[in-house]
Amino acid sequence: MKEVKKCLYCGKEFKIWPSRKKKYCSIKCYQKTLKGSGNPNYNNKWTDKKKKEASMIKKEYFKNNKVWNKGLTIETDERVKKYAETQKGQKRKIKWTKEAIIKFRRNKIKMNLENNPMNNPKTRKKLSETLRRRYRNKEIKPWNKGIHAWYIAGKNHPRWKGDDFNRTDYRGGDWKIQRKKRLEYDNYKCQICGKINNLVVHHIKRWQETQDNSLNNLITLCSSCHIKTHWRNKKNGR
C-alpha cells in the first residue's frame, strides 16, 4: 500500500510507495530548495580573492617541488629522450570541429572499403568460380533441389501440427475463401466504426462451438472493435 508523505518545501501531501525515498512532491519543489542558501556550494563562490589564494598556493608548491623536466632537453638528459621516444607513435589531441569530424568519417569509410575483401572484384570472381566448381563436382547440394511444393505440403511439412481440429489457429478448410468473400461483401470496412486499416473477420457465434463459416456468421471488424466485442462477450458470459 502507498504511504502518505508531506513535501519538505511546500507541505503538500502526496502518496508514494514505501520503498521509494522521496521527500518532495515534484521536481520543481526540489529545484527550489537548491536555489540560494539551499545549494550546498552556495558559500563556495569562485571569487577574485580565492583565485589569488589558489595561484599563491600553486607558486609555493612549485618552489619546493620543481618540475622534473624543466630546462632539460633530449641531448642533456636520458629520461627526456626515453619519454620522447615513447610519445612518437601516439596520436595528438584533435580539436573536434565539424570539418575534422567529416574528414575522420570519410577516412574511416575509405579504410573499411579498402580492408573489406568482398569489395575487391578479383576476390568476388574467385569466390564465384570456386562455388561453381564445387556445384559441378557435386561437393555441395542445394537443399531445395528437386523438391516441389506438393512434396512438402501436409504431413511432410516440417511445421505440421497434426489433424487436431480443436486448435485455436484452425478455422476449417474453407476459411480463407469465406474470409475473402466477407471482406469483399463489406467493401473492406469495419462494420462498427468504418475504419479501413487492420481489418479482422470475426465469428458472431464461436467457431469452436458451431464450426460455422457461413457468411451470415461472419462480420468484418477492425482490431480495436474486435477486442471490444470479445470483452463484451466475456462480461455477458457468451
pLDDT digits (tens, 9 = 90+) for 154-198: 677 766 766 655 555 567 778 888 888 999 999 999 999 888 888
At position 64, the amino acid (one-letter code) is N
Structural contact between residues 25 and 12, judged by C-beta atoms closer than 8 angstroms: yes
pLDDT of residue 219: 93
3-state secondary structure of 133: helix
What pLDDT is recorded for position 218? 92
Contact 236, 223 (CB under 8 A): no
pLDDT digits (tens, 9 = 90+) for 52-63: 888 888 888 877
**Per-residue buried b or exposed e for 164-176, using 16+ beta carbons within 10 Å of the residue's own CB:** eeeeeeebeeeee
Using DSSP, state whether 196 is helix, strand or coil.
Answer: coil
Name which residue leads in pLDDT, 151 or 135: 135
3-state SS, one letter per residue, for 185-219: HCCCCCCCCCCCCCEEEEECCCHHHHCCCCHHHEE
**pLDDT above 70 (res 210):** yes
Whether pLDDT at 41 is above 70:
no
What separation, in Å, do the N-terminal and C-terminal C-alpha atoms of the chain show?
Answer: 36
Q: CB-side exposure of 161: number of CA atoms within 13 Å?
A: 7
What pLDDT shows up at residue 151?
60
Q: Where are the domains of the chain?
A: 3-38, 97-140, 175-236
2/153: higher pLDDT: 2
190 close to 220: Cβ distance less than 8 angstroms: yes
**pLDDT level of residue 90 (50, 70, 90 thresholds):** low
Upper half-sphere CA count for residue 96 (Cβ side, 13 Å): 3
Q: Can you read off the three cell numbers belonging to residue 67? A: 618540475
Q: Which amino acid is at 45?
A: K
pTM for the model stands at 0.33
pLDDT score, position 222: 92
| Mean model confidence pLDDT for the chain | 79
The Cα 220–Cα 179 span in angstroms is 9
Task: Give one DSSP letter per residue of 58-87, joined into a string.
Answer: HHHHHHHS--TTTT--TTT-HHHHHHHHHT
